[in-house]
Amino acid sequence: AQTVTQSQPEMSVQEAETVTLSCTYDTSESDYYLFWYKQPPSRQMILVIRQEAYKQQNATENRFSVNFQKAAKSFSLKISDSQLGDAAMYFCAAGGTGTASKLTFGTGTRLQVTL
Amino acid sequence: NAGVTQTPKFQVLKTGQSMTLQCAQDMNHEYMSWYRQDPGMGLRLIHYSVGAGITDQGEVPNGYNVSRSTTEDFPLRLLSAAPSQTSVYFCASSRREGLISPLHFGNGTRLTVT
């Protein structure tokens, strides 16, 4: 079983600036994955980045990177050089490798990008 | 390549009516699943299937049925719709069970039960 907590319902960032979205989790799984999904107004769920818990190196995807602190059970998402197209709901999710691909999602953070 | 296709995009039902939400994928994925998204609650797993003929319950299965007669299709049936089932429903698939294969989501079905 796992829980995922996103404590920031809304965040705002200026275009070209950097913003960090927070996520904490709890899990009884010994091996697990962590994800950030983006949901724009179109409602589509888009995978932003994925972290395998056994890997110590933080995952990066272009302007998106994570700060994975396993002992603290923290998994924050950093968006660099923010763009207007980054405006969306962002969901943090966790899933155990032995749990039939079941994902537990947080409640989401709505990111606004201003000029 | 269509990916994961959900139909309809929108649906309004009256309490007690039944309906089927359709989900089809053309990627030959073994694993398929249904989630519902409610305001302030993220997505929650309803049912999932690890292959044709195999289904299992997720976190919130009550009021829903599923079947997996083919690899491509995974319909979600509401037997007697209730206002509590007003939600956005997402179908997702992956190449195989286990999160090493990323989930691909459909674009969702917004269901309103009056």
Looking at CA atoms only, how far is residue B90 from chain A in angstroms?
Answer: 9
Looking at CA atoms only, how far is residue B41 from chain A in angstroms?
Answer: 5
Indicate the residue of A32, A103, A107 with minimum beta-carbon distance to B41: A107
Contact yes or no for B90/B21 (Cβ under 8 A): no
Query: Which residues of chain B approach chain A closer than 8 Å at the C-beta?
Result: 31, 33, 35, 40-45, 48, 50, 56, 58-59, 88, 90, 92, 94, 97-103, 105, 107-108, 110
Residue B10 neighbours by CB distance under 10 Å: 10
* Cα(B2)–Cα(B26) distance, integer angstroms: 7
Inter-chain touch B48–A100, beta carbons under 8 Å: yes
* Cα(A34)–Cα(B77) distance, integer angstroms: 30
The whole-number average pLDDT for the span A92-108 is 86
- HSE (side-chain half, CA atoms, 13 Å) at B57: 7
- Written as six digits, the tokens of A49 are 């980045």
Contact yes or no for B107/B6 (Cβ under 8 A): yes
Of A72-81, A92-101, B92-101, the range with the highest mean pLDDT is: A72-81
Contact yes or no for A75/A92 (Cβ under 8 A): yes
* Model confidence pLDDT, tens digit, residues A27-71: 988 889 999 999 999 999 999 999 999 998 999 999 999 999 999
Indicate the residue of A46, A91, A97 with minimum beta-carbon distance to B98: A97
Higher pLDDT, B25 or A102: B25
* 3 state DSSP class of A84: helix
> Pick from B85, B20, A22, A20: which is nearest to B7 by CA?
B20
> Pick from B109, B104, B112, B100: which is nearest to B17 by CA?
B112
- Written as six digits, the tokens of A66 are 């994570």
Find tokens 């660099």 and name the residue.
Answer: A80
Contact yes or no for B38/B30 (Cβ under 8 A): no
- Written as six digits, the tokens of A88 are 């969306």
Is residue A105 within 8 angstroms of chain B, CB to CB?
yes
Residue A100 has pLDDT above 70, yes or no: no
* Model confidence pLDDT, tens digit, residues B53-88: 999 999 999 999 999 999 999 999 999 999 999 999
Mean pLDDT of chain A: 94
% of chain B exceeding 90 in pLDDT: 86
Measured between CA atoms, the residue of chain A closest to residue B46 is: A102
Inter-chain touch A100–B43, beta carbons under 8 Å: no
* Cα(A44)–Cα(A47) distance, integer angstroms: 10
pLDDT of the residue at B57: 94
Residue B1 has pLDDT above 70, yes or no: no
pLDDT of the residue at B68: 97
* Model confidence pLDDT, tens digit, residues A23-36: 999 998 888 999 99
Contact yes or no for B45/B33 (Cβ under 8 A): yes
Residue B108 has pLDDT above 80, yes or no: yes
pLDDT of the residue at A99: 63
